[in-house]
Amino acid sequence: MSSIEEEQEEQEKQEKQQSVLVLGGGVCGIQVALDLADMGFKVYLVEKKPSIGGHMAQLDKTFPTLDCSACILTPKMVDVARHPNIELLTYSEVLAVSRASKSFEVTILKKSRYVNEDKCTGCGICAQYCPIEVPNEFDQGIGIRKAIYVPFPQAIPLIYTIDKENCIKCGLCERMCEAEAIDHNQQPMKITVTVGSIVVAVGFQLFDAKNKQEYGYGRYDNVITGLDFERLVNAAGPTGGHLARLSDAKIPKKIAFIQCVGSRDEKSGNLNCSRVCCMYAIKQAILAKEHIPDADIHVFYMDIRAYGKGFEEFYTRAKEEFNVKFVRGAVSEIVEIPETKNLIVRVEDTETGELLEKEFDMVVLSVGLTPPSDSEAIENILGISKGEDGFFSSPDPQIFTVDTNIGGIFIAGTAEGPKDIPDSVAQASAAAMKASVALVQLTQEEKHVEK
Amino acid sequence: MAEEFEPKLIAFTCNWCSYAGADLAGVSRMQYPPNVRVIRLMCSGRVDPIFILEALKRADGVLVTGCHIGDCHYVSGNLHAEVRVKLVKKALEMVGLEPERLKLEWISASEGEKFARVIKEMVDQLKKLGKNPLRDG
Amino acid sequence: MANTDIKIKETLRSSELEPNFAEEITKHPGGEKLYLCYQCGSCAGGCPVGKITNSYKPRQIIRMALLGIKNEVLSSDSIWLCASCYTCQERCPQEVEIADLMLAIRNIAAKEGHAPKAFVEQATSLIENGRIPKITGLTQRRRTSLGLPELSPAPADVVKKIAAITGFEQLMEKLKEEAKK
Amino acid sequence: MNYALFFGCVIPTREPSYEASLRAVFKELGVDLIDLDKATCCAPIPIESLDFKTSLAIAAYNLSLAEEANINIMTICNGCFQVLSKANKTLKENETLRTDINKILAEVGREYKGTVDVVDYLQVLHNDVTPERIKENISKSLNKLRVAAFYGCHVLRPSSVLNFDNPEHPHILDDLIELTEAKSVQYMHKTKCCGGLLRGISDDLASKLARNKLFNISNSKADCIVTVCPFCFLQLDVGQLDVRRRFNETYNLPVFHYPELLGLAMGIDPEKLGLKTHRISTESVLKKIE
Amino acid sequence: MIDKPRIGVYVCHCGKNIAGVVNVEDVAEHVRNMAGVIVAKDYRYVCSDPGQDMIKKDIRDYQLDRIVVVACSPRLHEPTFRRVLEESGLNPYLLEMVNIREQCSWVHMDEPDKATEKAKDLVRMAILRSQLLEPLEIKEVKVLKSVLIVGGGVSGISAALDLAEMGFKVYLVEKNESIGGHMAQLDKTFPSMDCSICILGPKMVEVARHPKIKIISHADIVRVEGYVGNFKVKIRENPRYVISDRCTGCGECQEVCPIEYPNEWDINLGVRKAISVPFPQAVPSVYRINIDYCLQCYKCVEACGAREAIDFGQKPKETELNVGAIIVAIGFEPYEPYQLKEYGYGTYQNVITNIEFERLINAAGPTEGKLIRVSDMKVPHRIGFIQCVGSRDERIGHIYCSRFCCMSAIKQARQIKEKLPEAEVYIFHTEPRTFGKGFEAFFRKTREYGVSVVRGRASKVLEDPETGNLTVFVEDLSLGKPVEVEVDLLILSVGMSPPKDLESLSRTLRIPRDPDGFLLEAHPKLRPVDTHTAGIFLAGACQSPKDITDSISQAKAAAASVAALLSRGKIRVESMIAHVNQDLCIGCGLCQEICPYQAMTIQNKKSKTIPALCGGCGTCASTCPEHAITMKHYTNKQILAEVVTAFQR
């Protein structure tokens, strides 16, 4: 196979290392970064939050295997932190991108954590002594964190951050930190990097259930969203994994799941199916049963979309093994009983034509996926276009799944449209593939110029 | 009254199919009796008659599991395992030990339910058979 | 299955259905979005009338319309039981204007000679008096006692003229005839 | 600030107390109301049910009167508000229908141009008169009073046409009530229909719905109900007699038109407000606020 | 260091996953005083960064040389912790993992005490074993910068192009005459309504032209040997009776050929010549003689003339490829609905499948795109679609949803409405699964066309022998009423089945299949395109049903994984291999006989292992009559240590 040997040498000669920017540190961005880094490219991974991990880090278990989400994600997060080819820029945002001949010049703002990243050991003493407690966004505001914090124990990087809004500058953290990492005067930093390609993996934003007035989310204590539920059943969550009502900490015995909240809903401005809600609701129904075996659980749905590998079987198990009751009907309204804070769900069972008025202790809204909050900004900075659904879109989403209207910039994961984890991971690798091809071509062009 | 006899079961699993099957049983939260101690090998073909005999000195039963015929990660390891287990069974009969104390099962990576079932069934059977006379202690 | 009081055949045969019925409705203001209905039931779920009687099930009426069950639907009392509270319309995820759609179906029914007596009477009174309620002595007495001016008759002529042009007057006549039968 | 006052036909004929109290209150607040003499019925849902076009034409006619006066039209009846708003929207947006309708109007010597808006008097009070001004005019605190606000349907829905208030959790009427320092109580199924439009179609269903309403309100320990629609008023005031007859349940919940309640708070003589014309005696309330 | 091991034991809570059932503190306490155990700790998440740092610190502080991690399945985290050892300068094989999650806490939830006891036993077994562990030599081999892609459908094509662009040598093996797969048969794609062949055609040509890609069509995989980075694959090219290199694809032979036979590619409605290509855009454009139909009149030979491309003596040709990685992309087969007698497919002429419909509506199809029904060539005006044919059906063992049929039917319904606006179109479905990007909007638009969507699974179909019309019997679940709809043409939306040759291929490749019969990925969530065999990856519908978009994504993903692997240049090979003790070996050759990898050779009457070839199953070790063979990392000593301690109290 001499010819192949030669090719090998030829490949190895390609010394100059091309670099790439990955926007977003969720499971998708992580996969893109790892793939490209493994191919030998230099990767800048930019995440606006203090830690990578994205929504997946918030999940308790994954469907349909019920793997513990953290258990499969954290190793990958650790890999990112360890990888020699990856430069991790957390708590950072892209300010501007300009085309420099074939490549891109990217200006990144590194927001100040007011903690010296090199010195902080993540020991957590500071947080122990910090007197300020604020709702923890990572726990959907159900749990609390300190004004100096890491969002969750397995955070990568394990570096603390002071949120200035709430900090009272009492200086306790400063006094307690043996590493002398606290720096209240730390200034935000601008970094400029030149990359050959950009992959946008900024993920999604959950539909704001408050917009569905008739369900009373935000008004009724015991109406929660699917993501709230994930934190409620998670052992590392605010309740230590005890599924309880927010109004009175009682164990809910009757739980309803309501599907298509903000999906397939012209009125809510999201016509499309969010692709994950059916399965995560089924998963959560099963988890609820595991936490509260005698719980009576109803799922109110329009169509169950168990389309993926092993999904149908999972759906069947929920029905037959866990005796979860599935009722085909879109819930019309939820009424709170003022005294008990219980909830009356009003819905037609479209298979019997019966109007049901069922009382529940807790209602979980299976909210859909909507475009990322900062999609506007990114659209402006990168000049990549969106589809009718508001997600970033390829000019030909079918064949060129991960392309954008701008050569060298690619999209992946839920930033391109609702997806479950495997589809996001697959698309992540797909984008990595396209990016690598772009980078290789760039190298060849450069070689060409040299000659 | 004396408490129910709790048989001791040693199971050899191959890494690729049956150990994965056992993992799947766990992931799917399928419950089975805790009487079993699993020993992971790379292939059921690795199971040496000595292992079985030594195991039978300390347990009431031995279970050997591997990939289904044709699915062996190492092509043919399970074929050899099959032959060996048959031979050992014969030997056991000769020394007057119930051959049911030794069992061979093919369990694939997707048969978590089967793994749980096999363990349950075998433990129940061993309960009926009672303590293994060869077992010391 | 808890059904509306619309009496339909035990088995529906395409030969006996009228597939154009749905289209006819979509041509009528308010009925345009009929085809979009995906039978989720959020209309019926919140319906105050459906809650107290089995005789009215908006989703099922829409389904029948889509299937082309024409005469049974048009001749039923069911379509007149909608209280027009517009809750369904508020909730429909496909933005089907269900309450208005019911009005569209009623319009078609009326043309086919089906309408409740009460409505026909109110309409007739409107054509004749320019008002639906009649002015009685009691009314005037009450008004004066409250220092309100006596009511002058409403411009019935205007209404009458409009009703004549739109064929509304004739329609009412026809409906009164039907009622007599 | 002035408006073309559109009464419709039920209020002047059946509920003069509503008209009287409204005129009184607005006078106090210094809002000029121009009566539309040539106005006729708004052509409500019963008419629309029989022939959409006729109802639209009649509505257009009424709107054209306000256009002539060149002032926005103010309704005090949910039915009128909804029918006129819907007609106005349809005609403004749908050109072909507009031409059709104008052909008809031409015959009665009028034209619809689409130059005015339809507002409900609650909007006027809440947005134009403003709570501050109303408070200035309030002389008597009703703070002992527990009031159940009832909006009815056609001031809220379809919200895409009316965009009056949050259709699921409205607050404007509650706010206006609490200006009198009375407590606006919460009760279940607050935005559910009173059944008014079923009168004459199925009196049985109509009073079942009225009964549910009364039942939920009485659970909230309210002293009285405040409505903003003549049909709701009939359902809940006169309706209580019907409910007693059919279900043998007595609620004795006084029902007020909002201007009547406001009038009381402004110190207007109950006689002038016409409270005597109510079928359910308002005495209990009047005592409580003495 | 072997004689006096210093062991660190780390028991993981895994949040509540383990600690919720097993008393982890107790477990750690239980082994703390065992011989050789220096430290025994329990920790919330041992796999977390701080957890790993803790272990590293202990290795430094206490000079540990054996690590026992008591946590989840080694199949999940063994690599993670082996790396921890390496980074601490220890040999990775001095790690022992105990699985008390998947195989203890999760399966004995109701018996916490017994679970804890079992956990203790398992940990003791591991500690005893760990004392006997030996450091293994880490070997690296070169990775060949070439890849084999099995299957030339849209998945295989996109993977091939991407990898070729990256500069890797690609062998694309296709069992049919032409690449293109099912996508080449489709008329339009959903939801964009692009002409399918217009998108695919150019890519097929690109493949043919690309210097880095070699297409081997009309060929089968015979054997796969070797290991990641260095696979040896034997391919058999079946005879075309036309010499590829000489055939110019001019088609003159086809013109003179007198024989026509039904073209299965055109649902047997169209015909093809005995020497022909299946469709005009076929790639490679090399003609083939179907010997079963050929009269051997040799007209084609004349027509070909000087080019002398035709060779009736052609024999199957076997070639061997050496590649660094393999991508399996052999796709699916449409479910054949003969078995579902209630729908009368094969009996009633006017019942066809969705795939057949694609050819029927296709302008290049047998009817030039004229929608007609087979029985009387009349244009149908009432058309029905039956969904979930061969999907979500326990009776035929297809529990799974085929994922594309809903959209395909909705698209086809739309196409009919566009061609025949007056036509009545019915879709009888179980539940519409329009989950993809823009699918729901597409569905909504199609409803606006007046397509009648009936919720209910058709229970039977009857044909009127006179008219050939069909009556569909179904319950309208939205009304709870039985409905009987008469249609002129009925389309069965058939789902996807695993290809028939998948079973044999899965054996050749040693990749297990899932319960549905498709190929099993390494991890459904995070390694959807990897298999349990290093160096072999999956793409497209052979892993599970997928539409075009998702297949392409996955294909690119597989390509990325391959690229990452090949770019590394070197890769570690199995260190757990057999070793023959030359003194004990009697050269009987038994091991050589049973070794599936030909990794054993006999040199001067003694057996020896060829490390690179050894797969590490250890069958030889347990076969050797003289116990001369030790299986590294699974020695008799090590295994027996576990056996002995299993129930030792």
Q: Which residues of A touch C41 (CB under 8 A)?
A: 328-330, 332, 347-350
Q: Using an 8 Å Cβ cutoff, are A156 and A52 in contact?
A: yes
Superfamily, domain A3-111+188-204+371-450: FAD/NAD(P)-binding domain (3.50.50.60)
Q: Which pLDDT does position A5 carry in this prediction?
A: 53
Q: What is the DSSP string of C117-148?
A: HHHHHHHHHHHHHSSSSPP-HHHHHHHHHTTP
Q: What is the distance in angstroms between the Cα of A438 and the nearest Cα belonging to chain E?
A: 9
Q: Name the residue facing E146 among A4, A39, A352 (closest C-beta).
A: A4
pLDDT value at residue C1: 45
Residue E138: CB atoms within 10 Å: 12
Is residue E1's pLDDT more than 60? no
For residue E571, CA distances in Å to A194, E88, E611 come to 31, 21, 14
Q: What is the pLDDT of residues D6-63, one digit of tens each?
A: 999 999 999 999 999 999 999 999 999 999 989 999 999 999 999 999 999 999 999 9
**E115 CB within 8 Å of a chain A CB:** no
Q: What is the pLDDT of residue E614?
A: 87
pLDDT digits (tens, 9 = 90+) for E126-172: 999 999 999 999 888 899 999 999 999 999 999 999 999 999 999 99
Q: Let me know if E462 is exposed, middle or buried by CB neighbors in 10 A (0-12, 13-18, 19+).
A: middle
Whether E482 sits inside 8 A of C12 (CB atoms) is yes
Half-sphere exposure of residue A141: CA atoms within 13 angstroms, side-chain side: 3
In sequence order, which residues have a C-beta less than 8 Å from that of residue E14 and are 6 or more positions away?
A68, A71, E45, E71, E72, E101
Q: Give percent of chain C above pLDDT 90.
A: 86
Nearest Cα neighbor of D169 from E561, A322, A214 is A214
Query: Could you tell me which residues are beta bridge partners of residue A42?
Result: A19
Given the candidates 3.40.50.300, 1.10.287.3610, 3.40.190.10, 1.10.1060.10, the CATH classification of the domain at C14-111 is 1.10.1060.10
- Residues D290, E110: Cα–Cα separation, whole Å: 68
**Placement of tokens 């007595």 in the chain:** D250
> How confident is the model over C51-60, as a mean pLDDT?
94
- Of the residues E573, E597, E618, which one is the last residue of a structural domain? E573
Query: What is the tens place of the pLDDT at every residue in A275-312?
Result: 999 999 999 999 999 899 999 999 999 999 999 999 99
Cβ contacts of A60 within 8 Å, gap of 6 or more: A68, A69, A230, A231, A233, A234, A235, A237, A287
Query: What is the average pLDDT across C105-120?
Result: 97
Q: What is the largest CA-CA distance in chain E?
A: 92
Establish if E215 belongs to a structural domain: yes
CATH fold of A207-369: FAD/NAD(P)-binding domain (3.50.50)
Q: What is the DSSP string of E458-522?
A: --EEEE-TTT--EEEEEEETTTTEEEEEEESEEEEEE-EE--TTHHHHHHHHT--B-TTSSBPPS
Q: DSSP letter for D68, please.
A: H
Report, as an integer, the average pLDDT of E630-648. Answer: 94
B2 falls in which pLDDT band (50, 70, 90)? low
The tokens describing E88, both together, are 């601490």
pLDDT at A11 over 70: no
Contacts C–E by Cβ distance under 8 A = 56
Using an 8 Å Cβ cutoff, are E94 and E78 in contact?
no
Q: Is A330 on the interface with C (CB under 8 A)?
A: yes
Residue E143 identity (one-letter amino acid): V
Mean pLDDT of A60-79: 84
Q: How far apart are CA E573 and CA D38, in angstroms?
A: 97
Stated as kind and residue range, the H or E segment containing E116 is helix E112-132
According to CATH, where is 1.10.1060.10 located in chain C? 14-111
Residue E2 has pLDDT above 50, yes or no: no
Q: Please give the pLDDT value at position E357.
A: 96
Q: What is the ipTM of this complex?
A: 0.87
Average pLDDT over chain C, rounded to whole? 94
Residue E642 lies in a domain: no
The domains found in chain B, sorted by start residue, are 9-129 (3.40.50.960)
E424: chain C residues, CB-CB within 8 Å? 19
Cβ atoms of A43 and A33 closer than 8 Å: yes
- CB-nearest partner of A347 from C45, C60, C90: C45
Q: Half-sphere exposure (CA, 13 Å, Cβ side) for D25? A: 29
Among all chains, which residue has been given the structure tokens 């409803």?
E447
Query: pLDDT by residue (tens digit) across D69-95?
Result: 999 999 999 999 999 999 999 999 999
Find the mean pLDDT for residues E64-73: 95
- In this structure, the answer to whether residues E534 and E614 fall within a common structural domain is no
Does residue E39 lie in a domain region?
Answer: yes
Same domain, E389 and E483: yes
The pLDDT value recorded for residue B135 is 86
B96-133 pLDDT, tens digit per residue, is 999 999 999 999 877 888 999 999 999 999 999 999 99
- The pLDDT assigned to A67 comes to 76
Phi-psi group of A432: left, alpha or beta (phi > 0 → left; psi -120 to 50 → alpha; rest → beta): alpha
pLDDT band for position E312 (cuts 50, 70, 90) = very high
pLDDT at E374: 85
**Model pLDDT, residue E568:** 86
In the predicted structure, residue A8 carries a pLDDT above the cut 70? no
Residue-number span of the structural domain to which E620 is assigned: 575-632
Give residue D222's pLDDT band: very low, low, confident or very high (50, 70, 90): very high
In this complex, the residue of C28, C52, C130 whose CB is nearest that of residue D41 is C130
Q: Residue E242 pLDDT > 50, yes or no?
A: yes
What whole-number distance in Å separates Cα of residue A5 and Cα of residue A247? 69
- Chain C neighbors (3+ CB pairs < 8 Å): A, D, E
Segment E36-44 shows an average pLDDT of 94
CB atoms near residue E301 (< 10 Å): 17
Residues E202-215: tens digit of each pLDDT = 999 999 999 999 99
Q: What is the pLDDT of residue A73?
A: 87
Q: At which of E538, E558, E573 does a domain end?
A: E573
**What's the CA gap between E192 and E41, in Å, rounded?**
58
* At least 3 CB pairs under 8 A between chains C and A: yes
Mean pLDDT confidence for D259-264: 98
CATH at E485: 3.50.50.60
Place of tokens 């060929």: E219
Smallest Cβ–Cβ distance between A436 and the set E515, E555, E563 belongs to E563
> Quick check: is E454 in a domain?
yes
Question: Do E174 and E323 belong together in one domain?
Answer: yes
Instruction: Report the neighbours of B using a cutoff of 3 or more CB pairs below 8 angstroms.
Output: A, E
pLDDT computed for residue A1 by the predictor: 42
Q: Is the pLDDT of residue E309 over 70?
A: yes
Question: Which residue in A65, A67, A287, A289 has the most chain B C-beta atoms within 10 A of its own C-beta, making it the best mutation to test that interface?
Answer: A65
Q: What single letter denotes the amino acid at residue E578?
A: A
Query: Band of the pLDDT at C4, cuts 50, 70, 90?
Result: low
Contact E56, E88 (CB under 8 A): yes
Matching CATH number, D131-288, of 3.90.400.10, 3.40.50.11810, 3.40.50.1820, 3.30.750.210: 3.40.50.11810
The whole-angstrom distance between residue D61's C-alpha and the CA centroid of its chain comes to 21
Q: What is the DSSP string of E238-295?
A: PP-SB-TTT-----HHHHH---EEE-GGGTTTSEEESEE-SSTT-SS---EE-TTT--
Single out the residue of D225, D152, D129, D233 nearest to residue D182, CA to CA. D225
Quote helix, strand, coil % in chain B, to nearest 5: 45, 15, 40
pTM across the whole model? 0.86
Q: Which fold has domain D2-121?
A: Glutathione S-transferase Yfyf (Class Pi); Chain A, domain 2 (1.20.1050)
For residue D279, which of D234, D231, D247, D243 has the smallest C-alpha distance? Answer: D234
Does the pLDDT of residue B1 top 60, yes or no? no
Determine phi and psi for A307, rounding to 5 degrees: -95, -20
A65 touches chain B (CB under 8 A): yes
pLDDT at E15 over 60: yes
Kindly state whether residue E569 falls inside one of the protein's structural domains.
yes
Res C3: pLDDT: 52
What is the pLDDT of chain D when averaged over all its residues? 96
Helix (H) or strand (E) holding E38: strand E37-43
CA dihedral for E350, E354, E359, E362, sign (positive or negative): positive
Sequence letter at residue D127? N
pLDDT score, position C179 = 86
Tell me what pLDDT residue E649 has.
66
Query: Among partner residues E74, E617, E647, which is closest to B37 by beta-carbon distance?
Result: E647
Confidence of residue A16 (pLDDT cuts 50, 70, 90): low
| Structural domain count of chain E | 5
The reply to whether residue A335 touches residue D166, judged by beta carbons under 8 angstroms, is no
In SS3 terms, chain A reads as CHHHHHHHHHHHHCCCCCEEEEECCCHHHHHHHHHHHHCCCEEEEECCCCCCCCHHHHCCEECCCCEEHHHHHHHHHHHHHHCCCEEEECCEEEEEEEEECCEEEEEEEECCCCECCCCCCCCCHHHHHCCCEEECHHHCCCCEEECEECCCCCCCCCCCEECCCCCCCCCHHHHHCCCCCECCCCCCEEEEEEECEEEECCCCEECCHHHCHHHCECCECCEEEHHHHHHHHCCCCCCCCCCCCCCCCCCCCEEEEEEEECCCECCCCECCCCCCHHHHHHHHHHHHHHHCCCCEEEEEECCCCCCCCCHHHHHHHHHHCCCCEEEECCCCEEEECCCCCCEEEEEEECCCCEEEEEEECEEEEEECEECCCCHHHHHHHHCCCECCCCCECCCCCCCCCCECCCCCEEECHHHCCCCCHHHHHHHHHHHHHHHHHHHHHHHHHHHHHHC
Q: What is the pLDDT of residues A110-140, one digit of tens each?
A: 999 999 998 887 778 899 899 999 999 999 9
> In this predicted structure, what is the pLDDT of residue A2?
47
User: Do the Cβ atoms of A392 and A410 come closer than 8 Å?
Assistant: no
Averaged pLDDT for residues E508-518: 88
**Considering only CB atoms, which chain A residues are within 8 Å of B29?**
66, 290
The confidence band for B63, taking pLDDT boundaries of 50, 70 and 90, is very high
Apex CA C7: angle with CA C3 and CA C10, to 5°? 85
pLDDT at E77: 84
Q: According to CATH, where is 3.50.50.60 located in chain A?
A: 3-111+188-204+371-450, 207-369
What pLDDT does E226 receive? 83
Beta-sheet strands, E only, within E46-152: 66-71, 95-99, 139-142, 146-150
Cα dihedral E217, E221, E226, E229 in deg (nearest 10)? 30
pLDDT at E429 over 60: yes
Listed range (C1-10, C124-133, E473-482) with the worst mean pLDDT? C1-10
Mean pLDDT of E38-57: 90
Number of H helices, E strands in chain C: 11, 1
**In this structure, what token pair is assigned to residue A115?**
């903690």
Residue D75, token pair as written in the block: 């309704």
Residue E265 sits in the same domain as residue E190: no
- Which runs of E-coded beta strand occur in chain D? 2-6, 32-35, 73-75, 118-120, 146-150, 183-184, 224-227, 255-257
Which of E100, E103, E511, E644 to mutate against chain B (most B CBs within 10 Å)? Answer: E103
Alpha-carbon span E443 to E476, nearest angstrom: 19
